Structure 1
Amino acid sequence: MTLTMDEVLQRARPVMPVLVIDDLNLAVDLARALHAGGVEVLEVTLRTACALKAVEVIRRDLPDLLVGAGTLIHAEQFAEARDAGAQFAVSPGFTARLAAAAEQCAMPYLPGVMTPSEVLMALEHGYRSLKLFPANGSTSVKMLKSFKGPFTGIRFCPTGGVTPDNLLSFLRLPNVACVGGTWIAPESLVKARAWDQITQLAAEARYLAASLEHSA
């Protein structure tokens, strides 16, 4: 069955961890710690030399996880990510060339937008699941509220500025499917191999989201 980006975001709720992996030897343990905290979907950013290999080993050792490749800014990166086993792709912005590369690789694609014009451009290419980047706290919450009227049926994943303190402000919005976050696996805890703490951070995010759902 072909996976859609909307399905990826549904499984990711409340938080899709955004991972910068510098040490390949830590990749599987990090993913396993997040999975233990309830994470089903994660994004490995292609900002390091071992990022593609990290995607490959996480997919191999944790097949129940959905693993995406992020920060794709060049068209050729889509094929590289696909060949490494990435199941979806994420970009900080959007261009027609990136969209064509995603389509050619048959990968679910989450393009980044920030303005109404960028949302319209993504819509013209058939995308209805979008990444809002950067998500600047209360300013972005207000923006997403204003987007709800003209952009019906669009689902957003705010990323870049989401924290435990503003997590619920984003998740309360009906047009927010999930958020992207780096705080769940901060560099300091990863380097310290503090897997139990990372598991706890993931579980706490899910607990917060569950409290929101129960109060609805």
Structure 2
Amino acid sequence: MQIDAYLDEFPLIAIFRGVTPEEVVSVAEGVVEAGFRILEVPLNSPRPLDSIALLADRFPDLLVGGGTVMSPVDAMAIAQAGGKLVLMPHSDPAVVRQAKQSGLLCVPGVATPTEAFAALANGADALKLYPAEQIAPSVVKAWRAVLPLNHRLLPVGSIRPDTMADYLRAGANGFGLGSALYKQGMPAPEAARNARAFAQALAELRTQGLLPGGGKAG
């Protein structure tokens, strides 16, 4: 299991912060229909493990996981719920190592090159550049010059359809999407519309050669 295949197909991660188990499948269905292949339920959502289990059962071919993972125990709980992925706001080596020991993919959050290299040394499968508000495209370009090219850089934080191009030109490989895709309590049709807007933006970026499938990888 590798994260690269999912990101190559559709390089966006859907973050359903605040979603409830009662609504998670209906919200996810429209997002998946738009093309999303990676679904995250942050652990500070209501009954998140129940939502992860529901998504894992409904979408067995997708990469479903938990975000805002703060401890090794959290990582083990995600695996027990049927998740395949751990996403973190930080890069605690104990959490990264436990995720890998539990057979999960792991995307820790990093904000400096020191954190980035340490996360990779501990087994990270990709790097979440967080918060993206403080990591401008110019910073990503500098990181890309020194970090291994085979590891994906994924800005997360206030990403919109119109802000992706500059990051891709700088060397980013995908994005995590929060409130621009889904906010707590958002009706499923609205989340689906947001998902389609991002999918359309991706299609345009591919025609510009900024993503695989359009000539030049970002």
Q: Shorter-chain-normalised TM-score: which range?
A: 0.7 to 0.9
Provide the TM-score with structure 1 as the length reference: 0.88
Q: CA deviation at 1:205?
A: 0.8
How many residue pairs match? The answer is: 207
Q: Deviations over 1:132-175 (max 9, x none)?
A: 010017x521110111211131321111221233122223333x
Where does residue 197 of structure 1 map in the other structure?
A: 190
Of the three residues 28, 35, 57, the one matched with 1:60 is: 57
Q: 1:180 aligns with which of 170, 176, 182?
A: 176
TM value normalised by structure 2: 0.87
Gaps of 5+ in 2: 210-218
* Deviation (angstroms), 1:210: 1.2
CA distance in 2, matches of 1:12, 1:50: 27
How do 1:51-130 and structure 2 match up within 5 A? Answer: 51-127=48-124, 129-130=126-127
Displaced runs of 4+ in structure 1, greater than 6 A?
none
| Aligned 8 A contact 2:64 2:83 in 1 | yes
RMSD of aligned C-alpha atoms? Answer: 1.8
The residue number in structure 1 matching 2:212 is none
| CA deviations over 1:22-65 (Å, ceiling 9, x no partner) | 43211110111111222121111110231100011112123343
The separation in 2 between residues aligned to 1:143 and 1:36, in whole angstroms, is 33
Of structures 1 and 2, the one scoring higher in RCO (CA 8 A, sep 6+) is 1
Q: CA 1:19–1:9 in structure 2 vs 1: closer, same or farther (change >3 Å)?
A: same
- Match of 1:141? 137
Which consecutive unaligned segments of at least 5 residues does structure 1 have?
A: none
Task: Pick one of 165, 186, 209 that aligns with 2:202.
Answer: 209
Name the CA distance, whole Å, in 2 between partners of 1:79 and 1:52: 11
User: Take 1:90 and 1:11, find their aligned partners in 2: how far apart are those partners?
Assistant: 19
Q: Deviation string for 1:43-97 (max 9, x for gaps)?
A: 1111023110001111212334321111101110111000111111111111221
**Equivalence map 1:27-42=2 (5 Å):** 27-42=24-39
Q: Is the 1:157–1:177 Cα contact (8 Å) retained in structure 2?
A: yes
